[in-house]
Amino acid sequence: MSVSSTRLIDLQDPQLEAQKLLRLPTSAAEALFQGYTVDQQLEVISSTRDAKAREELYYLVPDCTELIQMSVMEDVLQILDARLGTGTASALLSCLSPDQFEEMMDFVLWRSGKLDEKTLDLWLFELSECEVDELGDLLSEIDVGIIGSLLSGRVEMDEEFKALFIEEGLVDPSTPGIGYADERARAVMDAIWEADADLFVRVLYELFGLDREDELGEELWGSLERVKEEQEERVKKRDKAAGIDITETEILEKVDLDQLNLEDKEASEVDEE
């Protein structure tokens, strides 16, 4: 049955409905869940606090891509956060829309105006675990500045003739003289190359601070400061569209995200007991 089924079922309590679904045998849960409208499915998913349980609900439809892309960022981010570093978050990453991915990167990679290297490393690892074609399709729709921030300092290239080689299309991921900090960075660059050779070139310009005239600029393309400014501008536009007056930076100043994650996990453990 399709995720877009429109049969109306009266849901008195989405949380209780979620608990019932999770207790049923898989085939029965799938049949029941797929009988809900999409809005009802999203309501049941969003009402579920535990990240693992919420993820199980997404999998009750044949393809959860539509549900994930219609979900609010926080619902999906909680699941990804619980899986970061395990290599299993990649299964959901490829389901994200480009806008969702950009919004998540803007939110999780920056703390008090600085790039969070530890979090960046975890996300890069999960991206490297994605299927090459799926990762390439996603990254080809992402702002090049965000890709540059993900790979900043992780890709190196010999200085001699750098700009000329890039402009003339003489560079690919395996070109001698290109070095990678780790296999994660190499996997992401491979995926970009497979998806879009022109994007690969634009990412190199971004990483190495080159302008389109083949000259070394003052980090015109690759500076983290510029990427930070673009991130802040995207956040302001999203907040304005949503009628939000407080910025994410102000939220982070008032809320300890690490403590929030801890509390969610503790709540999950209590629920399971």
> What does the pLDDT read at residue 258?
54
Sign of CA dihedral 85, 129, 64, 30: negative
Nearest to 79 by CA among 49, 108, 37, 51: 51
Low-confidence ranges of the chain (pLDDT < 70): 1-10, 159-165, 167-169, 210-231, 245-273
Tally of residues, the chain: 273
**DSSP one-letter string for 162-181:** HHHHHHTT---TT-TTEEES
> What does the pLDDT read at residue 5?
43
Q: Which two tokens stand for residue 208?
A: 């190495």
Q: Note whether 264 and 78 are within 8 A (CB).
A: yes
Nearest to 40 by CA among 2, 75, 66, 7: 7
Q: With 0-12 CB in 10 A as exposed, 13-18 as middle and 19+ as buried, what is 26? A: exposed
> What does the pLDDT read at residue 46?
92
C-alpha span between 48 and 254 (Å, rounded):
25
> What does the pLDDT read at residue 168?
65
Q: Which two tokens stand for residue 45?
A: 């998913």
> What does the pLDDT read at residue 59?
94
> What does the pLDDT read at residue 4?
43
CA angle at 142 for the pair 141 and 146, rounded to the nearest 5°: 165
Helix H, strand E, coil C: the string for 144-161 is HHHHHHHHCCCEEECCCC
Query: What residue spans define the domains of the chain?
Result: 1-71, 96-256
Q: With 0-12 CB in 10 A as exposed, 13-18 as middle and 19+ as buried, what is 113? A: exposed
Question: In degrees rounded to 5, what are phi and psi of residue 155?
Answer: -130, 130
Nearest to 197 by CA among 178, 162, 169: 169
> What does the pLDDT read at residue 41?
94
> What does the pLDDT read at residue 256?
53
